[in-house]
Structure 1
Amino acid sequence: MSRADLIVSLVKAGSEGDQQLLRTTVEAMAAEERAKQHHQLADRLVQNLGEGKARPRSPEVVRSYDGGHGGLLYEIEPRRTLDSLFLADAVRAACGELIEEQHRRDLLRSYSLEPRHRLLLSGAPGNGKTSLAEALAHELMTPLFVVRYEAVIGSFLGETSGRLKRLFDFVRTHQCVLFFDEFDTLGKERGDTHETGEIKRVVSSLLLQIDALPSHVVVVTATNHAELLDRAVWRRFQLRLEMSAPTEAQKEKWFVRLQEKLGTPLGMAPKTLAAKLPAVNFSDLEQFCEDIQRRYVLALPNANLKQIVSERLKQWRSRFTVDQST
């Protein structure tokens, strides 16, 4: 939202006594100031937001810009780009649309529309859910905050809901990507007879907090077990994307990229290598290529890349056989 629109909203909230509009406007202003590195001004805005007095700050919340790493969140510096990822066409197109909407949110708001900002990723482990969250943060030029479940989930009644509230109070005043990995840890089906009333209350609190987030906070959640998620969780997310395992064509492109990076033939056609490597996810592909690069660098200047690739392939095929048998 433009600064002029924010000022108009602020005046309107004050004249009408609209506390919700006041809070939303001040949070948006604080997020803009943080994006400009004006952290002291942003802190003062947040401190003076509330019922006539500064709201207490929780020492458990990580203030990323102060370098803290011991609270409810930790920050990852986004390095991956969207172009560096191998994504299905539908996933790439959807992410591109979300990025465009975020970058052009002022135009959307001039038509009383908000950009989409809630994304649910599902699929087997190792297929790029965390990497996609990082890439979105990189493309949006915002911090990536990852929820620390060990700090959020408490052992006493009501503790977890209270921590979740403090977490969301913090992120509301930041332009950021908020990432929940293994979201089924918190978003479990409330009809599960094995879960306690406390867990059900946590899910309800979590969904309400997600609903109340402003659109400058892009929420990305990831789950390996979509069937465990509460049914109400699904409708909270405007984008629901399946992260699939690599196809043979994607494996081949991966090895073409590796060959270009090394600047020398692999000694085996990328298509042949893709067919021979029993990689079941993108994480396996990445580790295999890093393995080759390490051995290649250590063997310079007399590195025999064909031999290295053959040895690594043999080792990984053996490893896959062991994994299958256990």
Structure 2
Amino acid sequence: MARGDLLVALVQSGVGNDELAFRRAAEALIAEENAKKHSVLASQLAEALTRRRNPGSSVSPLTRPRESAGLLHETEPLRRLNELVLPTVVRHAVTDLIEEHHRRDLLRSHGVEPRHRVLLEGPPGSGKTSLAEAIATEVAVPLLTVRYEGLIGSFLGETASRLEALFSAVRIRPCVLFFDEFDAVAKERGDTHETGEIKRVVSSLLLQVDRLPSHVIVVAATNHAELLDRAVWRRMQLRLSLPSASREGKIEWLRAWAARTGVKLGKSERTIADRLRDVSYAELEDFASDVQRRQILDGFDSDPEAVTERLLKSWSHRAKPEAGD
């Protein structure tokens, strides 16, 4: 929605006493000012919206930054989509999502919002966190990662209250809101082993996700998709599966990394991929960084092949998790 449309929507909803529509239009306007770095004006608008709230309304008030402290970790995303090895169907789906947000004004002129709820499932190290960061980079918004140690409380009702504070804090700024290990807070409510408090938290979480405006892209990642509440699947507009690293994928990743960094590996990508056959993409990146780090420390006279061979031997003796860990 263009700025003129936002102002029209704001006035129309205000005249019509449509509190929810008014709030959404105001939040979109505040988010637009935040995106333009007009922080003073955005803060003034947010403060005015907070004061306006009807005490009898079911709509949550805006949360000031200090009230959401400890719930989110903000980072400036740097990873690009073309750096990732992704299945073709996943790459196309994410590219479409990014285009929708780049051309959201065109969509909104037809009364359509860009999609903004994404579920990523796959084994550890398959690139879920990296993909969330890449989406944030390509859309040019900050990456906000939910901190569960600050979110999950030990007292009845505490977690739901913190959830409300978290979502209220992010509603007025364009961002990627990333839930890693989403099954920690979105477990199946039919599980007889879960307490009534956890079920209320899941219900509150899903309600808050529904209310988020489209300038907040929610990316939820899980290694255990089977544990998620069934309602989570219905709410996610994109549901993408990231597989374990294949031999071909590792070769592609190593070639791209070497070309991007200029680091000489000293051995063929095929040889390295074969000797690191059990590692994930995340571990492969750790290995490549180890090679780069060692070459820097050894100086200009270092032998790339010797460095890589030494680290391959070291990695072959790395401790592995015990079964069931």
If the TM-score is normalised by the length of the shorter chain, which range does it land in?
Answer: over 0.9
Alignment identity in percent?
53
Contact kept, 8 Å, 2:65 with 2:169, in 1: the verdict is: no
Matches within 5 A, 1:42-191: 42-49=42-49, 52=52, 57-58=63-64, 60-62=66-68, 70-191=69-190
Contact kept, 8 Å, 1:60 with 1:72, in 2: the verdict is: no
Flag the 1:308–1:52 CA change in 2: closer, same or farther, 3 A.
closer
Correspondence 1:40 to 2:40: yes
TM-score where L is the length of structure 1: 0.92
Bigger RCO (CA 8 Å, 6+ sep): 2
After TM superposition, where is structure 1 displaced by more than 4 Å over at least 4 residues in a row? 53-60, 261-265
SS at 1:49 equivalent: helix
CA offsets 1:21-45 (integer angstroms, 9 cap, x no match): 1101000000000001111211221
- What are the ranges of 5 or more consecutive residues in structure 1 without an aligned counterpart? 63-69
More divergent stretch after superposition (53-62 vs 144-153): 53-62
Give the C-alpha shift of residue 260 in structure 1: 3.3
CA distance in 1, matches of 2:247, 2:321: 20
CA distance in 2, matches of 1:264, 1:40: 45
TM-score where L is the length of structure 2: 0.92
Flag the 1:154–1:275 CA change in 2: closer, same or farther, 3 A.
same
More divergent stretch after superposition (7-16 vs 259-268): 259-268
Flag the 1:164–1:306 CA change in 2: closer, same or farther, 3 A.
same
More divergent stretch after superposition (95-104 vs 264-273): 264-273
Give the C-alpha shift of residue 303 in structure 1: 0.7
Counterpart position of 1:323: 320
Give the C-alpha shift of residue 324 in structure 1: 6.7
* Aligned-partner residue type, residue 142 of structure 2: P
SS at 1:241 equivalent: strand
Contact kept, 8 Å, 1:59 with 1:71, in 2: the verdict is: no
Flag the 1:309–1:104 CA change in 2: closer, same or farther, 3 A.
same
Flag the 1:265–1:209 CA change in 2: closer, same or farther, 3 A.
closer
More divergent stretch after superposition (123-132 vs 44-53): 44-53
Contact kept, 8 Å, 2:177 with 2:216, in 1: the verdict is: yes
Q: Cα RMSD (Å) of the superposition?
A: 1.9
SS at 2:78 equivalent: coil
Contact kept, 8 Å, 1:9 with 1:25, in 2: the verdict is: yes
CA distance in 2, matches of 1:115, 1:305: 47
* Aligned-partner residue type, residue 117 of structure 2: R
CA distance in 2, matches of 1:31, 1:287: 36
SS at 2:99 equivalent: helix
Counterpart position of 2:23: 23
How many residues are matched?
Answer: 317
CA distance in 1, matches of 2:110, 2:295: 56
* Aligned-partner residue type, residue 314 of structure 2: Q
Counterpart position of 2:58: none
CA distance in 1, matches of 2:62, 2:210: 23
CA offsets 1:229-258 (integer angstroms, 9 cap, x no match): 001111110001111112211211223234
* Aligned-partner residue type, residue 201 of structure 2: V
Contact kept, 8 Å, 1:124 with 1:245, in 2: the verdict is: yes
Give the C-alpha shift of residue 267 in structure 1: 3.3
CA distance in 1, matches of 2:181, 2:47: 33
Counterpart position of 1:283: 282
Give the C-alpha shift of residue 266 in structure 1: 3.3
Flag the 1:31–1:258 CA change in 2: closer, same or farther, 3 A.
closer
* Aligned-partner residue type, residue 178 of structure 1: L
Give the C-alpha shift of residue 188 in structure 1: 0.5
Contact kept, 8 Å, 2:146 with 2:178, in 1: the verdict is: yes
Contact kept, 8 Å, 1:255 with 1:270, in 2: the verdict is: yes
